[in-house]
Chains A and B, each alone.
Chain A
C-alpha cells in the first residue's frame, strides 16, 4: 500500500484559538477509513493542503472519540497558511497516525507533571484528556503551561476547568504579562518551584520550544527527577513520516517513528549539542 498517499478528509468544525491559531475538527470522507482509525495521545497526522504540501500535526482530541480528529494549527508557513484559509466543509488530505505516544501506561500510579510552552500545549492535550478519563489510575496531575504573551494562550477554558478537578493543579504563566493577565508572570520553568511533588514518583511530559525544554529538563534533574522519567515531544522537518526520507533524524532517532515523544534518557547525550 502507498502509505505516502493521504485520504480525503472533511473539515467539520473550525475554531479560531487566537490570532494565528486554529483548531480543525476533521473526519475522513471514506467511512471505512474513519471507522478503522485509532490513535494514541501524542501521535500525529500528516495534513495535506491541496497543491501546497503536507505538515505533521499532533492530534489534540480524546483518543476515545472515534468520530472526529482534532488538530490545532498555528500559521507558520505556506502549508499552515493554506490550511488556515480552508472553511467548514472543505476537504484536505490526511494520513496517519504516526509516531510514538506519551507513556500513559508507564505513568499509571504515578504523579504526572505536564510542562508545556507556547503551542506545545497542543501535543499534550491528548495525554491530559486521557488522564482525565482515567483520573483514578493516576496520582497528582500538575499542568504547567507558559506563553510568551497573554494573547498566545489557547484552550484557556479547558485549563481553568481542569484546575478545578481534585488532585489536579494548573499553573499558567506569561513571560510578558499585561493588565488582563490573572496568572503567573515569568518563564514556565520557574513554575516548577510552585509545585510540590515527590521526585521519585513523578513522570514528566514536556513539549515546547527546545530552548525551553533544555532549561526545563535541567530544572527537573536538579529536583531529583530521573532522566528516564522525563518525556519530550520533539519537532523536526518531516516529509514522509515513515522513516524513509531521512529528514527528521536526531542522532539515531527518527522523530517520525521513534518520536515525536522520546524519553530524555535516550537523547540526553545529544540534546544539548548544537545542530545535531
Chain B
C-alpha cells in the first residue's frame, strides 16, 4: 500500500470531498464529557487537543497541548448505533375489510462516512458482518447501510488501561476494512497525516486532496507511533483454548462471585460494538386498523430475553445471564461465526458502572488471581 501525506488543513478537503459524494460525515466529537460519534461538519468539531484516561468503571477527558485530533481511545459509542440502530421500524401492517396488507420498511439509504474508525472497531464491523451477512438470509436493514458506508480509519496513537486489542489481534494497527487510513503525526510544529488507500473508493477521494508521497522518515515515524501504542497496552486476555475453558466451567463457583458484583444493568451489551441482540415491539394506535413492528436493542441481561411461556425466564439468576454473555462473547461465538465476539476495545470494562473487567473474570476462571 502506497503511503501519502496530507497536511492537517487538508482534512477539511476530505470532509468536502466526502460530502460532495453524498456522504453524511460522522466522527468523534465532544459531548457530555466524553468523545462520542455524531454528525460533524468540519475538522473543527473533532475533539481538538483532547485525550482520555480510562479504567474499569471510569472515563475522564484530558486536555493535550498539541492540538491532536485523534489522540484518544474509543469512547462510549460504537459505530453500531448507525449501522444497527437502537430503534428500527421493520414493517407496517394495514387491516382493511379484514385483509392484512404488510408493507416493508425500506432500508435506510443514508450513506455514512465514518471518520476516525479504530482498528478494533473495524474488526467489530467485520464481526457484525458475519452475524448479519454470512448466512443464507442477510439482514435487510444492515446490508445496505453497511455497503454504503465509507470508512476513514485511524491508527491509534494512544491506548488506555482498558484496551486489549493486542490480545484479540485486532489492532492497534489498521490492516483492512477501510477505504482510507490515517496516521496522525505531530512533530516540530508540523501536523500531518500519513494516508493510505484501502479501496477504489478511497483512491477516488484521495484524488481530490492535495497530497505528497510520504517520506521514508514519515513512514518510519508512523510505524513507531503504532508500535508505541502497542507497547502501552498492558491488559491481556489469554484466549488459548478459550472454548474449552468455558465449556468445562459452566458450573464454576466463580460465576457466583461475578453475580455478586454484576448489576445486570446491560451497559456492557449496549456499549459493546459487536453485541447485536434485539427484541421487537408491536406498536399500534387506537384506530385499530394499523400496526407497526419495531426492532429495539435488547440485552441478554434482561429477564424477558429468555422468557418462554410455561417456563418463565430461562435465565432468571444474574449469574446465568452474565455467564451467557461472556460465554457467548468469547466462546460460543467462535462456534457460530468462526471468530471471537470480542475485539478487545475495552468498552465493557470502562463503561461497566461497577468496573467488572472481563479479562480478570477469564483469569479467575483459569484459576489465576490478579
List residues of chain A with CB under 8 Å of any chain B CB. 1-8, 29, 50-54, 76-77, 80, 89-93, 209-210, 235-237, 239-240, 242-247, 249, 251-252, 254, 257, 269-270, 273-276
Contacts and interface: CB of A to CB of B under 8 A. Distances in A.
Contact of B314 (A8, A236, A246, A257): A236
Given A4-B90, A276-B320, 18 more contacts: A3-B137, A3-B140, A4-B91, A6-B102, A51-B288, A89-B98, A239-B279, A240-B280, A244-B132, A244-B139, A246-B298, A247-B305, A252-B331, A270-B250, A273-B250, A274-B320, A276-B250, A276-B324
A91 B96 CA distance: 11
B107 to A, nearest CB: 9
Contact of B308 (A2, A235, A254, A275): A235
Nearest to A52: B282
Nearest to B311: A210
B278 interface: yes
B208 interface: no
B251 to A, nearest CB: 7
A91 B331 CA distance: 43
Contact of A91 (B98, B104, B291, B336): B98
Contact of A76 (B93, B291, B309, B332): B309
A53 B277 contact: no
14 contacts: A2-B140, A4-B91, A5-B90, A5-B91, A5-B104, A50-B100, A50-B291, A51-B93, A51-B288, A91-B99, A210-B311, A240-B278, A245-B278, A275-B319
A2 B305 contact: no
B315 interface: yes
**4 nearest A-B residue pairs (beta carbon):** A246-B277, A275-B320, A252-B335, A76-B309
A90 B251 CA distance: 49
Contacts of A92: 100
B279 A244 contact: no
Nearest to A92: B100
A274 B247 CA distance: 14
Q: How large is the interface on B (under 10, 10 to 19, 20 to 34, 35 or more residues)?
A: 35 or more
Nearest to B305: A247
B316 interface: yes
B277 A51 contact: no
B276 interface: yes
B80 interface: no
Contacts of A5: 90-91, 102, 104
A270 B293 CA distance: 34
B101 interface: yes
Contacts of B87: none
Contact of A275 (B135, B278, B316): B316
Nearest to B88: A4
A4 B293 contact: yes
Contacts, number: 123
Interface string B310-349: 1100111101100110011001100110000000000000
B135 A242 contact: yes
B278 A51 contact: no
Nearest to B275: A246
Interface string B119-143: 0000000000001100101011000
A237 B304 CA distance: 9
A8 B293 contact: no
Contacts of B316: 275
B212 interface: no
Contacts of A54: 280
B250 A29 contact: no
Contacts of A243: 131, 135, 137
B300 interface: yes
B39 interface: no
A134 B247 CA distance: 40
Nearest to A273: B250
A275 B279 contact: no
B320 to A, nearest CB: 3
Nearest to A236: B308
A8 B140 contact: no
B179 to A, nearest CB: 26
A246 B278 contact: yes
A121 B269 CA distance: 38
Contacts of B308: 235-237
Nearest to A54: B280
Contact of A249 (B135, B295, B324): B324
Contact of B95 (A3, A4, A50, A251): A50
B221 to A, nearest CB: 43
B99 A29 contact: yes
Contacts of A77: 309
Contacts of B280: 53-54, 239-240, 245
Contacts of A246: 276-278, 298, 300
B324 A244 contact: no
A244 B335 CA distance: 16
Given A4-B293, A246-B300, A247-B277, A236 B306 contact: yes
